[in-house]
Amino acid sequence: MEGARILSARKPDRQSDRQVVMKVYDADHIRNVALVGHQGSGKTMLAESMLYAAGALKRMGSIEEGTTISDYHASEKERGMSVFASLLHVEYLGKKINVMDTPGYPDFVSEVAASLHVTDSALFVINAGEGVQVGTELAWRSAVRQNTPSMFVINHMDKPDVTFRDVVAQLKDRFGRGATVVQIPGGTGSRSIIDVLIMKQITFDDHGKMTVSAIEEAFVSEAEQLHNELVENIAENDESLMDLYFDKGTLTEDEMRSGLREAMIRHQLFPIFLTSATSNIGVSRLMEFVGNVCPTPSQMPPAPLASGGTIEPDSAGEPVALIYHTMSEAHVGDYSFFRIYSGALETGMDLVNAETGVTERLGQIFTINGHDRDPVERMYAGDLGALVKLKNTHTNNTLHRKGSQVVVEPFLVPSPRYAVAVVTVKDGEEDKLAAGLHQLHEEDPSLQITHDQLLSQLVLSGQGEMHLEIARYRLKNRFGVEVEFVRPKVAYRETIQQQARAKYRHKKQTGGAGQFADISMLVEPLNGEFVPPDDIKVRGEHTETTAWGSTVHFVDAIVGGVIDMRRFFGAIQKGVMEACQRGPVAGYPVGNVRVVIHDGGMHPVDSNEAAFKSAARACFRDAFRQARSVMMEPIHHLEVLIPDGYTGDVMGDLNTRRARIQGIETEGPFQKVIADAPEAELHRYSTSLRSMTQGRGLHRSEFSGYEPMPRHVQDEIASEAIEDED
């Protein structure tokens, strides 16, 4: 196949009314890069400048005016920040560069994870005036986890009071000596850059056009030193290049490019480049490097499959694509953004969703530039694009031929860090809310929805307050349903700590048939096998699993037929289970108890199921209260990742949250505090942690079990429950 196939279709360009020939590229002529980094580092404007430098834009947009190509959603324009990852592309020097502009705010880390999963290089954009920030560190963890080739782009280098060498020192300190200088500034306030890979000084005019010249005398010595360091760094990571270096004392530009690419793929070297995106400085040279050095899809290791094994980006192979993002657009419907891992996608092709088994007929295939879309007839392995109006295909789904077993490994969805209960402002809109939340989850799997019937609440979980605020904004503006966020109720449980007995006689006479039931009951914690007291003889046993996941063990110890258990056991069981659903202490479900029915009495006429159900419910409550009843609270295992300087503050705060510190470990440049903490004390913890650590702290937690709560906490909760009932 040719490197770039030109289709016969032409379409007018919206920016300049010129005719654009849409091209189709193979894996050898595609570069897939993600722009990642902290909020405000300049990723969106760098993407804008790349489009402008490639001639795809007549003029650059502005974040302040809401006119950039990538940040086109209403929620992004309103906040002046990226919320969703935007797919863009430029055609430059015979290659197609797919660019993913990702959010930098920590709440949208799932967008970064998805983008790094389907791209082949990460460009870490660093604000020269701020250095390495938390968004950079979060993205770095994702890149390391996915082994994504990476490089650094120090942006805003033309700002005053910016010290290039300080930023480089910070990069090396944080990311190791693999951070390798390729460019240095050509002087304070200059529009030129010295490139030590090609050993030239490059000057950029106001439109970003490059003029290449010899390096000025003032920079020659430093440039030569950095060039030699770059050559040595490349050579020491490749034995064949090391041999050439020893033989010749240097490497050619092509040898250096090849060595850099391989070292990037192995995550050994991370080139450092310079730009000022808003001033069009360094951008065209950056794209040239991306096209010449960053790996193509065919040069990357084969992509892993969910069942093991890998898949090669063979354009002649069977078609396989992963949907990495879905998004609904007004007047269009659902966009399904894909990466092709094998074969080609063509209009009208039928493919099967590997997860649902649904056959999808592909409609129009689009290349994407933010909100703009351009139709193409086909795309080949390694490319990124979008489909519309797929029937039943969502994020992380694989499309393949009928009969194929190939499933691309999905990207890892981050666990939730923040949760709220959701209620509608207006009554009667619960169905609209459920439909809207379902759609938002399909588009963004890191938004998770749980419905707790016992607590009568709908809980929305995500990465932080901003993440959930964006969800609320979209529910209102897209689905027409306004909601309020309230603190979620905690799923407490009640149980007992010792054995106790109780008797209860239910007698009711109101004219006509009466009610009579007499029952004696023993209750105890469900710990191991039942060892009956001397006065109790076991005749039968039954175990019931509750709707909330606990166990109630029933023991029939009735002797002499004082209660007809064949007739009334079901009613007794129902009475106890009703009492368990709203526990005697504070109305929370009861878990893991043994109930022994060992004595009682009945009336030949007035005893019936209703009477024994009522007697069993009341007797169980009386016995429960005498058996050292206790409330159990959910405990979460917590890991808090923080820079070393914040360890004391974080540990002090955890102590106020009734946490038990289990230990401290080192994880890269961070300290990891390990603790067990009650769920009730972790509400809004992600927000508090960011405040304590200037946005640099991160935590993850998971449910680990139930434990008895302190008596003073139990009394407070029980008192609140009584007040709520009143």
Tell me the pLDDT tens digit for each residue of 639-681.
998 988 899 999 999 999 999 999 999 887 789 999 999 999 9
Q: Kindly state the average pLDDT of the residues 365-388.
A: 93
Count of domains observed in the chain: 5
Q: How confident is the model at residue 5 (pLDDT cuts 50, 70, 90)?
A: very low
Q: Which residues of 553-568 are buried (b: 16+ CB within 10 A; e: fewer)?
A: bbbbbbeeeebebeeb
Q: Which run of H or E residues covers position 236?
A: helix 217-236
Where does a domain end: 489, 514, 541? 489
| Residue 567 belongs to some domain of the structure | yes
Check whether residue 543 and residue 653 sit in a common domain: no
Q: What confidence category does residue 725 fall into, taking pLDDT thresholds of 50, 70 and 90?
A: low
Inform me whether the pLDDT recorded for 7 exceeds 50: no
> How confident is the model over 538-567, as a mean pLDDT?
93
Does residue 554 sit in the same domain as residue 680?
Answer: no
Q: State yes or no: pLDDT of 9 exceeds 70.
A: no
Using the CB atoms, write b or e for 196-235: b if 16+ within 10 Å: bbbebbbebeeebebeeeebeeebeeebeebbeebbebbb
CATH code: domain of residue 692: 3.30.70.240
- Separation CA 344–CA 408 (nearest Å): 15
- Asked whether 591 and 635 are in contact (CB, 8 A), the reply is no
The closest of 187, 251, 180, 253 to 217, measured between CA atoms, is 187
Question: CA of 75: how far to CAs of 80, 352, 435, 567, 713, in Å?
Answer: 8, 34, 20, 64, 41
Whether 445 and 507 map to the same domain: the answer is no
- CATH number of the domain encompassing residue 145: 3.40.50.300
Q: Check whether residue 583 and residue 638 sit in a common domain.
A: no
What is the strand order of the sheet 200-204 is part of?
183-185, 192-195, 200-204, 210-213
pLDDT at residue 3 tops 70 = no
Tell me if 648 is assigned to some domain.
Answer: yes
Query: Would you say residue 15 has pLDDT above 70?
Result: no
d(CA 482, CA 432): 10
In tens, the pLDDT along 268-293 reads 999 999 999 999 999 999 999 999 99
The CATH number of whichever domain residue 480 belongs to comes to 3.30.70.870
Distances (CA, A) of 133 to 232, 238, 619: 29, 32, 62
Does residue 613 carry a pLDDT above 60?
A: yes
Q: CA-CA-CA-CA torsion for 505, 508, 514, 520, nearest 10 degrees?
A: -10
pLDDT, residue 21, reads 52
> Exposed, middle or buried by CB within 10 Å (0-12, 13-18, 19+), for 540?
exposed
455 in a structural domain: yes
What type of residue is 658?
R
Boundary (domain end) residue, out of 466, 489, 512:
489
Per-residue pLDDT band for 18 (boundaries 50, 70, 90) equals very low
Number of helices (H), then strands (E), in the chain: 16, 39
The set of residues, in sequence order, having a beta carbon less than 8 Å from that of 462 and lying 6+ positions away, is 107, 416, 417, 418, 419, 446, 447, 448, 468, 471
Claim to verify: residue 177 and residue 55 sit in the same structural domain: yes
Tell me what percent of the residues of the chain surpass a pLDDT of 90.
Answer: 77
Report the pLDDT averaged over residues 557-561: 93
Instruction: Give me the CATH number covering residue 388.
Output: 2.40.30.10
Q: Write down the pLDDT at residue 19.
A: 40
Residue entry with tokens 């795809």? 56
Nearest CA-CA partner of 28 in 383, 408, 385, 386: 383
Give 259's Cβ-side CA count (13 Å radius).
25
What is the structure's pLDDT at 426? 95
Confidence of residue 22 (pLDDT cuts 50, 70, 90): low
Confidence grade of residue 503 (pLDDT, cut at 50, 70, 90): very high
Overall average pLDDT of the 506-524 stretch: 88
- Are the CB atoms for 642 and 649 separated by under 8 Å? no
**Which pLDDT band, with edges at 50, 70 and 90, does 367 fall under?**
very high
Task: Answer for the pair 341, 321: CB distance below 8 angstroms, yes or no.
Answer: yes
- Give the 3-state secondary structure of residue 263: helix
Could you tell me if residue 136 is inside a domain?
Answer: yes
Say if 256 falls within a structural domain.
Answer: yes
Question: DSSP secondary structure string, 584-629?
Answer: TTTSPPB-SEEEEEEEEE--TTT--HHHHHHHHHHHHHHHHHHS-E
Same domain, 568 and 709: no
Q: What does each C-alpha distance from 473 to 39, 63, 640 come to in angstroms? A: 20, 20, 30
CA dihedral 182, 57, 63, 445 (to 10 degrees): -80
Q: Is 498 found in the same domain as 472?
A: no
Together in a domain, 717 and 651: yes
At 37, list the tokens.
């980094």
Instruction: Give me the domain span that covers residue 326.
Output: 319-400
- Mean pLDDT throughout 14-19? 40
Tally of residues, the chain: 726
pLDDT, tens only, 211-232: 999 999 999 999 999 999 999 9
For residue 2, pLDDT beyond 80: no
Percent of the chain surpassing pLDDT 70: 95
Based on the domain organization, do 608 and 659 belong to the same domain? Answer: no
The answer as to whether 212 is a domain residue is yes
Query: Is the confidence at residue 401, as pLDDT, over 60?
Result: yes
Mean pLDDT of the chain: 91
**Are 92 and 190 members of one domain?**
yes
pLDDT single digits (tens) 517-531? 999 999 999 988 899
pLDDT of residue 724: 65
Average pLDDT of 307-331?
91
The burial class, CB within 10 Å (0-12 / 13-18 / 19+), for 639 is middle
Each residue's pLDDT tens digit, 76-107:
888 888 999 999 999 999 999 999 999 999 89
Residue 19 maps to a domain: no
Give Cβ neighbours of residue 720 (< 8 Å, ≥ 6 apart): 586
At residue 646, the pLDDT reads 94
Q: Phi and psi (nearest 5°) for 517?
A: -160, 135
Query: Does residue 518 sit within a domain?
Result: yes
List, for residues 573-603, the tens digit of each pLDDT value: 999 999 999 999 999 999 899 999 999 999 9
166 has a pLDDT exceeding 80: yes
Residue 133 sits in the same domain as residue 197: yes
Residue 253: closest CA among 265, 241, 264? 241
Per DSSP, the three-state class of 418 is strand
Averaged pLDDT for residues 565-571: 95
Residue 511 is predicted with a pLDDT of 64
Q: Is the confidence at residue 13, as pLDDT, over 70?
A: no
Place of tokens 């933010």: 370
Domain check: are 366 and 326 in the same one? yes
Q: Would you state the pLDDT for residue 32? A: 98
Last residue of a domain, one of 457, 489, 521: 489
Amino acid 4: pLDDT: 46
